[in-house]
Chains A and B, each alone.
Chain A
Amino acid sequence: MTNKNGRFGVHGGQYIPETLMNAVIELEKAYNHYKDDPEFNRELTELLNEYAGRPSRLYYAEKMTKDLGGAKIYLKREDLNHTGSHKINNVLGQALLAKKMGKTRLIAETGAGQHGVATATAAALMGMECVVFMGKEDTERQALNVYRMRLLGAEVIPVTSGTATLKDAVSEAMREWTTRIDDTHYCLGSVMGPHPFPTIVRDFQSVISKEIKEQLLEKEGRLPSAVVACVGGGSNAIGTFYNFIEDKDVRLIGCEAAGRGIDTFETAATINTGKLGIFHGMKSYFCQDEYGQIAPVYSISAGLDYPGIGPEHAHLHDIGRAEYVPVTDDEAVNAFEYLSKTEGIIPAIESSHAVAHVIKIAPGMSKDDIIVITISGRGDKDCAAIARYRGEDIHE
């Protein structure tokens, strides 16, 4: 559903410095060439299956279903992928593409560190150099992931500009790319940025909904009533939605990080509090002030702590195809604990936002309804932060 120049309705586009234009044009050409290339797809499928552990399981959460007493709940277990999140799906695709393009160096931004770890992993596997930009505040919140990236051979650069979080890591990675283009691919981690990134990342993540569909048809013989995923930039959500967009009876629900609430300034819920703007290469919705200055956003989740949302989500919102709901820190932390105790699965704090919304809606739905929640990542990385949130000081 991408139009010319990568537009999704009015959203998307290529708002980047002239210096980068030929780089994104070259990337688009290479992607269009390789996406239907049998050899490329064979290599990628092998990497996804043999290295990353796909397909990921679609698990029937029986205890959670019974406890909530409404819709039947399945969990799409992206947390079981190698490196612990859905990020590896996109990274393996982009790294393979970059390699085919003759690039020898990957740069990336990261928030919680999941995308950085995935990129560092792919770089190690493919023998490429890797530099990851991470907000200084996030390097402190997610010290373990910083160590993992360095262990994998990547250089981690703490970003001190702006709010020292994910948005600043993206800005710094873009600045770095303008400095060094010839040998470097910017491995963008979400369905955002200039065209063709939102399309490339969506295609590589759409394996999530492709598998959900096949697995659920096999288990239940029908489509789900709703699929639910958390949304920051929106890569696991678009991956979860994509193959259901044409199935109009399937509700697509994205859960935004409301932080301390959408009626406060400490929020990162873009659809619920933002307005149309142009930033980081794309036209989409952004949290901003009346003069277009990008707002400092807040969420307990470093991975959702971003003031924008991918252009395809903005479009799905405009046409009413997908719903975007706010979930607060408190609700997400409760869900983090709930899933751990109920199913023995510790979800990432990002994914916990999706779990939280299902805890709200499932009881009101019929037992014939089926909800699929994408557990985008595992929560080991968040244990210290959640302990702190509960007033317990533990050392990682």
Chain B
Amino acid sequence: MSKILEAFNNKKAFIPFVTCGDPDLDTTKEILRELQANGADLIELGIPFSDPTAEGPVIQGANIRALKNGITTDDIFKMVTEVRSEITVPMVFMTYANVIFSYGMDRFFEKCKEIGMDGVILPDVPFEEKDEFVNSASAYDVDFISMVAPTSEDRIAKIASEAKGFIYIVSSLGVTGTRTSISTNVKDLVEKIRSVTDVPCAVGFGISTPEQASQMAEISDGAIVGSAIVRIIGQYGKDAPTHVGEFVKNMKSAYKAS
């Protein structure tokens, strides 16, 4: 069984995202400890890319900061190796196709297995292009996470039928970043997915408040929060871990309240 499913076992999952190496890898480690301590059920680790075309300004900024520090994919593998024994929740990488392709598919996923990464999210690899990645990922027991968008419509059934780990529901049109409201009928997307598969689905893009998170988790199986956390890291730098912990704690308590 996929380890990712543990995150959804009889509970709504809270899934935070952080860009590795922003502001530095020691701080990232400390943030991971805070995320787990305050109730993260699954953690998304961003491997920075020079041109993250699915990201809004906040996460773009984090990518640039990390790359300016000279962070490489190998540095991130090393960081995960050092911290993985303490972090017991499932973890997935979020990055772009070229980061993996240039590293070498098999070499990348073999490393993922070795250091205990459970999945990978690639926003620039849709259903039609996934086989090249999935073939290699599944050989090393790494789940390729599929995405469903408000525009997916007739594509939902085929995407859901081949999904592994969890399904990432993109809440809104556009790129990542906080939004004051989410107008998409997410519930409708969830129902279409559930008619095809039991793979859990979590909602991301634009979730920044405890109310939004609990509301999205309520109608799906979990909520993903990226930009709101990355913004805190951008603001506090090396002092960010406790602030991030506090933020996650508030998010999780909204879950329990609902």
Which A residues form the contact surface with B (CB < 8 A)? 5, 13-23, 161-162, 167-168, 171, 174-175, 178-181, 275-281, 286, 288, 290-294
Residues of B within 8 A of A279 (CB): 51, 97-98
B129 with A291: CB separation less than 8 A: no
Q: Known A-B contacts: A15-B129, A18-B147, A278-B98. Give 15 more (CB < 8 A).
A: A5-B129, A15-B97, A17-B126, A19-B149, A20-B151, A22-B154, A23-B151, A175-B54, A175-B174, A178-B54, A179-B173, A179-B174, A288-B98, A291-B103, A292-B73
Task: Report the interface size class on chain B.
Answer: 35 or more
> B210 at interface (Cβ–Cβ under 8 A)?
no
* Closest-CB distance, B97 to chain A (whole angstroms): 4
Residues of A within 8 A of B170 (CB): 17-19
B153 with A171: CB separation less than 8 A: no
Chain B positions 83 through 107: 1 when the CB is less than 8 Å from some CB of chain A, otherwise 0: 0000000000000111111110000
> B35 at interface (Cβ–Cβ under 8 A)?
no
A181 with B73: CB separation less than 8 A: no
A288 with B53: CB separation less than 8 A: no
Taken together as a complex, chains A and B put the C-alpha atoms of A175 and B73 apart, in Å, by 25
Q: What are 6 A-B pairs with beta-carbon distances under 8 A?
A: A15-B124, A18-B159, A20-B151, A21-B155, A288-B102, A294-B51
Residues of A within 8 A of B219 (CB): none
B126 with A292: CB separation less than 8 A: no
* Closest-CB distance, A173 to chain B (whole angstroms): 10
Chain B positions 112 through 150: 1 when the CB is less than 8 Å from some CB of chain A, otherwise 0: 000000000001111111000000000000000001111
> B49 at interface (Cβ–Cβ under 8 A)?
yes
> B175 at interface (Cβ–Cβ under 8 A)?
yes
Taken together as a complex, chains A and B put the C-alpha atoms of A20 and B53 apart, in Å, by 12
> B2 at interface (Cβ–Cβ under 8 A)?
no
Residues of A within 8 A of B96 (CB): 278
> B152 at interface (Cβ–Cβ under 8 A)?
yes
* Closest-CB distance, B59 to chain A (whole angstroms): 12
* Closest-CB distance, B103 to chain A (whole angstroms): 7
B128 with A5: CB separation less than 8 A: yes
B50 with A162: CB separation less than 8 A: yes
B126 with A178: CB separation less than 8 A: no
Report B44-98 residues with CB < 8 Å from chain A CB.
49-51, 53-54, 56-57, 60, 64, 67, 72-74, 96-98
Taken together as a complex, chains A and B put the C-alpha atoms of A162 and B124 apart, in Å, by 18
B128 with A14: CB separation less than 8 A: yes
A162 with B51: CB separation less than 8 A: yes
Given the interface contacts A17-B123, A21-B127, A280-B53, does A292 sit within 8 Å of B152 by beta carbon? Answer: no
Taken together as a complex, chains A and B put the C-alpha atoms of A23 and B51 apart, in Å, by 22
Given the interface contacts A161-B60, A291-B103, does A17 sit within 8 Å of B147 by beta carbon? Answer: yes
A21 with B151: CB separation less than 8 A: yes
Given the interface contacts A23-B151, A181-B151, does A18 sit within 8 Å of B50 by beta carbon? Answer: no
A22 with B151: CB separation less than 8 A: yes
Partner of B103, one of A19, A179, A292: A292
The chain A residue with its CB closest to the CB of B154 is A22
Residues of B within 8 A of A291 (CB): 72-74, 99, 102-103
Residues of B within 8 A of A175 (CB): 53-54, 56, 174-175
B129 with A13: CB separation less than 8 A: yes
Residues of B within 8 A of A162 (CB): 50-51, 64
B173 with A180: CB separation less than 8 A: yes
* Closest-CB distance, A182 to chain B (whole angstroms): 9
Partner of A292, one of B56, B57, B98: B98
A15 with B125: CB separation less than 8 A: yes
Taken together as a complex, chains A and B put the C-alpha atoms of A14 and B124 apart, in Å, by 9
* Closest-CB distance, A279 to chain B (whole angstroms): 5
B149 with A171: CB separation less than 8 A: no
The chain A residue with its CB closest to the CB of B98 is A292
Taken together as a complex, chains A and B put the C-alpha atoms of A17 and B152 apart, in Å, by 11
A174 with B53: CB separation less than 8 A: yes
Taken together as a complex, chains A and B put the C-alpha atoms of A294 and B53 apart, in Å, by 12
Taken together as a complex, chains A and B put the C-alpha atoms of A274 and B144 apart, in Å, by 28
Q: Quick one: which of A17, A161, A180 has the most chain B CB within 10 A?
A: A17
Taken together as a complex, chains A and B put the C-alpha atoms of A153 and B129 apart, in Å, by 38
Q: Quick one: which of B72, B159, B174 has the most chain A CB within 10 A?
A: B174
Taken together as a complex, chains A and B put the C-alpha atoms of A332 and B103 apart, in Å, by 36
Partner of B54, one of A17, A23, A288: A17
The chain B residue with its CB closest to the CB of A26 is B151
Q: Which 7 A-B pairs have the closest CB atoms?
A: A292-B102, A179-B174, A19-B149, A278-B97, A292-B98, A293-B50, A18-B149
Taken together as a complex, chains A and B put the C-alpha atoms of A286 and B175 apart, in Å, by 24
Partner of B124, one of A278, A288, A292: A278
The chain A residue with its CB closest to the CB of B48 is A293
Residues of A within 8 A of B149 (CB): 17-19, 21
Chain B positions 216 through 232: 1 when the CB is less than 8 Å from some CB of chain A, otherwise 0: 00000000000000000
Taken together as a complex, chains A and B put the C-alpha atoms of A221 and B194 apart, in Å, by 67
Given the interface contacts A161-B60, A171-B53, does A18 sit within 8 Å of B152 by beta carbon? Answer: yes
B126 with A18: CB separation less than 8 A: yes
Taken together as a complex, chains A and B put the C-alpha atoms of A171 and B126 apart, in Å, by 17
Taken together as a complex, chains A and B put the C-alpha atoms of A294 and B63 apart, in Å, by 13
